[in-house]
A and B are shown apart, each in its own frame.
Chain A
Amino acid sequence: MELSGDEKRIQALFSELSLEDQTRAPRFEKLWLRAEASATAPAPLVTRLVLVATVVIVTMSFVAVRSWLSSSQSQQVANIPAQIIPTTAGPRLQHSELSTASRNVARPRRFARRQTERTAITQAAMLSNWQSPTNILLNSPTVSVLSSLPQLNQSARDLEQFLPKKNNELLKESKQ
């Protein structure tokens, strides 16, 4: 790189600085040996503590999420009203027919049956609470008029309200 006058001056200052730095530079061997020593040394206590803390926090959060999920599921099951579910179980076997081998097989079957019952309960609860999104369209402001019976002379009384006062008085007099 070709240097001009000012650049040469700056470079002279930098080279002076470099000479000064070289006299103060630590020995290479010293730094290299220190680096080698710390490379073989075990991880510092702080790092290990941080690692342990991270593992503990992760485990605790996992357990908390798990328990929260299970509790919310059990709450859902508790809120469902008692309903009669048609059982889909097949014909019952007599006790005498059950052998010891079939008992062992029955356990996972029972578990599976419970599972299907549980899902049936949740589905039934969902169906019973279901409301049509167009249900609101069936309601109208005249529902109360349509659903109640009118009283006798009610229409005549309603008309009196709309007549002018004078006419009202004349009507009263005529009545008298």
Chain B
Amino acid sequence: MEISDLKAELEKLHPASFGWALSCCRRNHADAEEVLQTVYLKILQGKAIYRGESKLQTWLFAVIRKTAMSERRKQWLRTLISIPGTTSVVHNELESESERSEMQQRFQQALAQLPARQRETLHLVFYQDLSLSEAAEVMNISVGSARRHYERGKKRLRATLDREGVDYGIEWRRKENSGAVL
């Protein structure tokens, strides 16, 4: 694939890619932006080559995931040797925290409590609308494992939401039937 064609395709996938990068970076806006930029750099330098063996989206998401993991490792090393000026920007998250609805905040907190694999599977299925086999391909695991993570993650998320927010269902019903008396 020519770089100009690839660029056009990447542009189409950009919002979804950013959402996935955010999920891989534990909802840190600055980190997600950096990861996505690094991914584009890898593509430009030819370090990440799309060979057409799978869907472009699954390939791109796999690259984003790997890059986010290596960036996280680097950050961990930096914190170990504590180089000044390398602490990640957390204030972005705090600023936007107040803007979110209470329900959304609770949902994100519940998501954050999930193990990484479960969170990733749920994100790929519900947010990115991928099938379980595609999600497995992105995460480089078997379909069986992806299904297990999906089921466990769903169960755990539901339990956390039920425990933390009693009005989880009420809020939902309010959205679905705004005229209904609760």
Contact among B15, B41, B154, B175 with A7 in the assembled complex (CB-CB below 8 Å): B154
What mask results when residues 1 to 34 of chain B are scored 1 for a CB within 8 Å of chain A, else 0?
0000001001100110011001000000100010
What mask results when residues 18 to 44 of chain A are scored 1 for a CB within 8 Å of chain B, else 0?
101110111010011011101100000
Interface size in chain B (residues, C-beta < 8 A):
38
Residues of B within 8 A of A38 (CB): 37, 41
Task: State whether B122 touches A10 (Cβ < 8 A).
Answer: yes
Residues of A within 8 A of B45 (CB): 39
Task: State whether A31 touches B104 (Cβ < 8 A).
Answer: no
What mask results when residues 154 to 165 of chain B are scored 1 for a CB within 8 Å of chain A, else 0?
100110000000
Contact among A10, A13, A21 with B18 in the assembled complex (CB-CB below 8 Å): A21
Contact among A1, A17, A18, A28 with B125 in the assembled complex (CB-CB below 8 Å): A1
Task: State whether A21 touches B15 (Cβ < 8 A).
Answer: yes
Smallest Cβ distance from A31 to chain B, in angstroms? Answer: 5
Task: State whether B175 touches A28 (Cβ < 8 A).
Answer: no
Residues of A within 8 A of B154 (CB): 6-7, 10
Task: State whether A14 touches B126 (Cβ < 8 A).
Answer: yes
Interface size in chain A (residues, C-beta < 8 A):
27
The verdict on A13 contacting B7 (CB below 8 Å), with A21-B19, A34-B37, A35-B41 known, is no
The yes or no answer to A9 lying at the interface (CB within 8 A) is: yes
**Best-surrounded residue of A1, A6, A28 (most CB of chain B within 10 A):** A28
Chain B positions 108-147 with a Cβ under 8 Å from a chain A Cβ: 108, 122-123, 125-127, 131-132
The verdict on A36 contacting B104 (CB below 8 Å), with A1-B131, A6-B154, A24-B29 known, is no
The yes or no answer to B44 lying at the interface (CB within 8 A) is: yes
The verdict on A20 contacting B33 (CB below 8 Å), with A6-B154, A14-B126, A38-B41 known, is no
Instruction: Report the Cα distance A22→B41, complex, angstroms.
Output: 22
Smallest Cβ distance from B179 to chain A, in angstroms? Answer: 18
Nearest residue in A to B43 (C-beta to C-beta)?
Answer: A35
Contact among B108, B125, B172 with A12 in the assembled complex (CB-CB below 8 Å): B172
Contact among B36, B126, B158 with A31 in the assembled complex (CB-CB below 8 Å): B36
Residues of B within 8 A of A14 (CB): 122-123, 126-127
Residues of B within 8 A of A17 (CB): 19, 104, 107-108, 127
The yes or no answer to A16 lying at the interface (CB within 8 A) is: yes
Instruction: Report the Cα distance A20→B14, complex, angstroms.
Output: 15
